[in-house]
Amino acid sequence: MDSILVTGNGPLNGQIPIAGAKNACLTLMPATLLSEEPLTLTNAPRLSDIKTMTALLQSLGAEVSSLQDGQVIAMSSHDLTSQTADYEIVRKMRASNLVLGPLLARFGEAVVSLPGGCAIGARPMDLHVDGLEALGAEIELKDGYLHAKAPGGLKGAVHEMRFASVGATENIVMAATLAKGTTVLMNAAREPEIVDLVECLRKMGAQISGEGTSTIEIQGVDRLHGATHQVVTDRIELGTYMLAPAICGGEVELLGGRMSLVESFAAKLDAAGVSVAETTNGLKVARKNGRVTSVDVVTEPFPGFPTDLQAQMMALMCTAEGTAVLEERIFENRFMHAPELVRMGANIEVHGGTATVTGVERLKGAPVMATDLRASVSLILAGLAAEGETTVSRVYHLDRGYEHVVRKLEGVGAKIERIKGQ
Ligand code: UD1
């Protein structure tokens, strides 16, 4: 297994290009199942999660080709051969469940494995099931698989979700595009990735309004057609690299970044004493004077502070002046990076969903282990700011969500290298 060696060495300066959003791409790819005509995505990120979704779609009989070094994904679901998402693929990546809504809508049938346990929490599928049942689907759990049927086709309905789940919103919206009549989805998630999905579905001929608000209205159509769509910028990769100059000092421009994608996060950086400004090409982040100040954070659905940036923000708070309280409200077990940061000299106490971080002057390099995707990059950020060498093992987590991480950080002056495993 590969590892990453980081040596803390002072301020970072330069530019980092931000890729297309992993989480948008993982819902845009299953949208191909809604139509027999081709769907092409541009600005796709080059990540192992995208390869997993490619394998899943291919296992259903879809044609998927990766062009231009993986940045363009051309798909066709003309001749699908299966409506079953196998456990062997779904267990690798929860987002595999996003084939459920499209398969059910187009074929009136889908069999999708439950994702099973996940390192950061239980992550059930009840909200997906409730929404699809409201559209007339009959769903039962057999042998670890959700068996969904809609023999007479799906029918539009008014449905309010108990919680604004991102994945459930995506599955219900995709399913409703081909349902008979109108669906009104209330308490829908408002994430930019959902807005991006709706924009793509609209290019495919879907009739949808209200995306980006908590009520989405979908007028079902008989069929969807082909389209080409550019994947939105990855706001989590953007936020992660915004933290690099915040934690090391210096000034870095994040190419392709937009303030509207990271407003609540940028407000916290600003309160901590880090400057964030919009430029013609993206966002410029600078920290010039001394340590940052501690700020409290509560994770919430968009537009609140994203749970996917909590681990990275904790790394920054480890060296801030003062004490910060980080409250995790989206996932029940998402502080596994804390004991690893403590190994680097951080002062963190975790009680349930709350972590109290008292900043120290300087972290110290140590061998640490990545436990999940965002935790892995938080350890790299901490390593950039630490004295001496930090080796982050199990970097396959990192490969799920960050392309060319070594190249991007080296480009702004970081000392970082990938060590090949035996
Ligand atoms: C998506 C993102 C993930 C991000 C998360 C929250 C993708 C591929 N992944 O995950 O990176 O961290 O949004 O912003 O886009 N829940 C239920 N029942 C359900 C569904 C969810 O109880 O049927 C719970 C989950 O256990 C979790 C919370 O709701 O505690 C949020 O989950 P959800 O918004 O669905 O996240 P995902 O779509 O899985």
CA of 165 to the centre of ligand 1 (A): 5
Atom 5 (ligand 1) nearest CA? 166
Atom 2 (ligand 1) nearest CA? 23
- Are residues 34 and 57 located together in one domain of the fold? yes
CA of 227 to the centre of ligand 1 (A): 27
- Which sign does the torsion angle of CA 158, 162, 164, 166 carry? negative
CA of 307 to the centre of ligand 1 (A): 10
CA of 43 to the centre of ligand 1 (A): 24
Residue 98 has what pLDDT? 97
Residue 2 has what pLDDT? 92
Find the CATH number of the domain harbouring 126: 3.65.10.10
Domain boundary among 230, 263, 297: 230
- Are residues 244 and 226 located together in one domain of the fold? no
- Are residues 376 and 303 located together in one domain of the fold? yes
> Nearest 5°: CA angle at 110, between 62 and 155?
110
Q: Which residues are catalytic?
A: 118
- Are residues 149 and 188 located together in one domain of the fold? yes
Pocket test for ligand 1, best of 53, 90, 96, 123 (most atoms within 8 A of CB): 123
Domain boundary among 188, 208, 230: 230
pTM: 0.97
- Are residues 218 and 85 located together in one domain of the fold? yes
Residue 9 has what pLDDT? 87
Atom 32 (ligand 1) nearest CA? 165
Exposed e or buried b per residue across 121-143, where buried means at least 16 C-beta atoms within 10 angstroms of its C-beta? eebebebbbbbbebbbbebeeee
Token duo for residue 129: 């099931």
Atom 38 (ligand 1) nearest CA? 167
- Are residues 32 and 169 located together in one domain of the fold? yes
Residue 118 has what pLDDT? 58
Beta carbons of 198 and 235 less than 8 angstroms apart: no
Residue 333 has what pLDDT? 84
Tens of pLDDT along the chain (422 residues) come to 899 999 998 899 999 999 999 999 999 999 999 999 999 999 999 999 999 999 999 999 999 999 999 899 999 999 999 999 999 999 999 999 999 999 999 999 999 998 865 566 667 899 999 999 999 999 999 999 999 999 889 999 999 999 999 999 999 999 999 999 999 999 999 999 999 999 999 999 999 999 999 999 999 999 999 999 999 999 999 999 999 999 999 999 999 999 999 999 999 999 999 999 999 999 999 998 789 999 999 999 999 999 999 999 999 999 999 999 999 999 988 999 999 999 999 999 999 999 999 999 999 999 999 888 999 999 999 999 999 999 999 998 999 999 999 999 999 999 999 999 87
Pocket test for ligand 1, best of 163, 172, 190, 310 (most atoms within 8 A of CB): 163
CB atoms within 10 A of CB 352: 9
To 10 degrees, the CA torsion angle through 416, 119, 112, 103?
-50
- Are residues 51 and 150 located together in one domain of the fold? yes
Residue 353 has what pLDDT? 95
For residue 277, the enclosing domain spans 3-18+233-419
Amino acid letter, residue 327: E
3-state SS, the chain, equals CCEEEEECCCCEEEEEECCECHHHHHHHCHHHHHCCCCEEEECCCCCHHHHHHHHHHHHCCCEEEEECCCCEEEEECCCCCCCEECHHHHCCCHHHHHHHHHHHHHHCEEEEECCCCECCECCCCHHHHHHHHHCCCEEEEECCEEEEECCCCCECCEEECCCCCHHHHHHHHHHHCCCECEEEEECCCCCHHHHHHHHHHHHCCCEEECCCCCEEEEECCCCCCCEEEECCECHHHHHHHHHHHHHHCEEEEEECCCHHHCHHHHHHHHHHCCEEEECCCEEEEEECCCCCECCCEEECCCCCECHHHHHHHHHHHCCCECEEEEECCCCCCCCCHHHHHHHCCCEEEEECCEEEEECCCCCECCEEECCCHHHHHHHHHHHHHCECEEEEECCHHHHCCCCCHHHHHHCCCCEEEEECCC
Strands of the sheet containing 354-358, edge to edge, are 297-298, 323-327, 354-358, 347-351
Contacts of 262 (CB under 8 A, 6+ apart): 235, 238, 239, 242, 283
- Are residues 129 and 245 located together in one domain of the fold? no
- Are residues 172 and 57 located together in one domain of the fold? yes
- Are residues 218 and 279 located together in one domain of the fold? no
- Which sign does the torsion angle of CA 75, 81, 85, 89 carry? negative
- Are residues 148 and 163 located together in one domain of the fold? yes
- Are residues 66 and 195 located together in one domain of the fold? yes
CB atoms within 10 A of CB 5: 17
Domain boundary among 230, 248, 273: 230
Atom of ligand 1 nearest to the CA of 129: 23
Q: What is the CB < 6 Å shell around ligand 1?
A: 23, 26, 94-95, 121-128, 163, 165-168, 193, 307-308, 330-331
CB atoms within 10 A of CB 418: 14
Residue 288 has what pLDDT? 85
Token duo for residue 201: 């579905």
CA of 154 to the centre of ligand 1 (A): 24
Please name the residue that has the structure tokens 């106490």: 349
How many domains, the chain? 2
Closest CA to 26 of 106, 115, 109: 115
CB atoms within 10 A of CB 401: 26
Atom of ligand 1 nearest to the CA of 308: 12
Distance CA 227, CA 372 (A): 34
Token duo for residue 371: 């436990």
